[in-house]
Amino acid sequence: MRAMIACVLLSLPGAAAQAETVVAARTLPAQTLIGPGDLVLHDGDMPGALTGLEGLIGQETRVAIYAGRPLRPGDLGPPALIERNAIVSLIYDRGGLVIVAEARSLARAGEGEVIRVMNLSSRQTVNGVVQPDGTVKVQ
């Protein structure tokens, strides 16, 4: 009997919680920094879409996002510190040995992202992590 009462309570119109989805308030071109008025919460649940505004301000759009379109996790990322074809410092630091070389970036990337770069002296392509100062650290 108790299970039946619980089922009735859950099916009442006001008993269900409404989910919210983050949508673009205006059309945002790729590589746009997100500001306070760029995103809004919209009633309704969209599978795979973001559900909260926390941590989204200051992020950069990876693709063009049209007004009213729900945002997905891959649509935003940290702002790029390194542009494609930029010359960057490539750092190898292990066990007290530090090697610094110049490299050309092969993509855009923000802090903490893995990026491919080409060592200018050896012409070897390596992967590294973008540091807060814009250098690339090889793992």
Q: What is the pLDDT along the chain (139 residues), one digit of tens a residue?
A: 434 433 333 444 544 456 789 999 999 999 999 998 999 998 888 888 888 888 899 999 999 999 999 999 889 988 999 999 999 999 999 999 999 999 999 999 999 999 999 999 999 999 999 999 999 999 8
**CB 104 within 8 Å of CB 116:** no
The pLDDT value given to residue 52 = 86
Q: Which CATH architecture has domain 80-138?
A: Roll (2.30)
Q: What are phi and psi of 14, to 5 degrees?
A: -90, -5
Closest to 35 measured CA to CA, from 70, 79, 72, 68: 79
Query: Domain residue spans in the chain?
Result: 18-77, 80-138
Token digits of residue 71: 């945002």
Find residue 125's DSSP bridge partners. Answer: 118
The pLDDT value given to residue 47 = 87
**CB 56 within 8 Å of CB 20:** no
As a whole number of angstroms, the distance between CA 138 and CA 2 comes to 61
The pLDDT value given to residue 2 = 39
- According to DSSP, residue 90 is labeled E
Fold of 18-77: Type Iii Antifreeze Protein Isoform Hplc 12 (3.90.1210)
